[in-house]
Amino acid sequence: MTLAEFRQVYPEDAFIVSSGKTFLYRYYKNPEARATLVLLTGGIGLSDLFYRHFDRFSRDFSVLTFDYQIPFADNGEFADAVVELLHSLREKVWLVGQSLGGVVAQIIAQRHPDVVEGLVLSNTCSLSGSMSEAGYRDLMRILEGQQKFRKWLSILPFSVIKQIMKWMVLKNTTEDFTPEEKAGIKEMCDSMLELLTKPYEAHMIDFLIDAKHYLDLTRDDFATWEGRVLLILSRDDTTFTPACKYDLINLMPNPTVVERLTGGHLALMVRLEDYIDLVTEFIKTRSD
């Protein structure tokens, strides 16, 4: 399925939240599914990055996804809008978040535990209020890097910014990628950057930096989902340090931790079928 075909099969819909703002989303209701997945994309913020995942997951689950939209300026407002949508759809969901999406998932779960069945977080970090000194330092370095990138965005032509972003993505390819896998990542990167606008990229940087205002989560916040948290933390992912991953494991109650999925930060893209199988088996055994 191409991206264009995906958009035809799963058209975008709109929901008006209580503030009067419009929330755009894609939703497939599988009449035979026993669980619903919310796919939360990473830092580029474009949910179409997961279009192949959406289509594959739709065989076994109901699926919902959306961008991190500009009208919702911070993570708290966005999380509240997501939950209004879930209430309107009468859905209780599994939050499936990659990278920044894993951060967003934690915020949604902490603020609105009533709509969450469990969490699947891949190659991300924690928002623990008691994270290690090393984990906090490493996370602050990431956020400081984003603040610098925000300055570049205001100075450099956006065409140059896109080339920098493309380089940042492609440098995460690892030596064991096949030529076909590398070509697939490049094709997906080109497709997403073609859709990306300068205002949206500025919003996404601000949205990511805003996460530092939620560094107060505790293990008790996630106690409800003991045994219902899957952490996919690739050993060859260098975006988040071992300290960041250690803090995430410690924040979650009795999580299932999988480190064998290779492909660096892009493991769920490169090893799509392995990722789908891991997530599907985990959720199905806890939904039947």
Joined together, the tokens standing for residue 20 give 């009067």
231/274 Cα distance (integer angstroms): 14
Instruction: Work out the angle at residue 66's Cα, subtended by the Cα atoms of residues 203 and 127, and round it to the nearest 5 degrees.
Output: 65
- CA atoms in the 13 A half-sphere facing the CB of 90: 1
pLDDT given for residue 95 in this prediction = 98
Q: What does the pLDDT look like over 27-36, one tens digit per residue?
A: 999 999 999 9
Please spell the DSSP secondary structure of 169-229, one letter per residue: HHTT--TT--HHHHHHHHHHHHHHHHH--HHHHHHHHHHHHGGGGGTTB-GGGGGGGTT-E
Picking from 18, 54, 225, 217, the residue whose alpha carbon sits closest to that of residue 124 is: 217
Contacting residues for 71 by C-beta, under 8 A, at least 6 apart: 21, 22
Spans of the chain below 50 pLDDT = none
- CA atoms in the 13 A half-sphere facing the CB of 104: 33
pTM: 0.93
With beta carbons less than 8 A apart as the criterion, state whether 63 and 6 touch: no
Q: Note the maximum CA span of the chain.
A: 53
Cα separations in angstroms, 10 against 52, 63, 94, 287? 12, 10, 20, 24
Domains of the chain: 3-133+207-284 (3.40.50.1820)
pLDDT given for residue 221 in this prediction = 97
What amino acid is encoded at 232 in this protein?
I
With beta carbons less than 8 A apart as the criterion, state whether 247 and 125 touch: yes
8-state DSSP, 48: G
Q: What does the pLDDT look like over 92-111, one tens digit per residue?
A: 999 999 999 999 999 999 99
Q: What does the pLDDT look like over 113-135, one tens digit per residue?
A: 999 999 999 999 999 999 999 99
pLDDT given for residue 262 in this prediction = 87
pLDDT given for residue 265 in this prediction = 85
pLDDT given for residue 165 in this prediction = 81
pLDDT given for residue 128 in this prediction = 96
pLDDT given for residue 174 in this prediction = 59
pLDDT given for residue 277 in this prediction = 97
Residue with tokens 């050993």: 235
pLDDT given for residue 192 in this prediction = 76
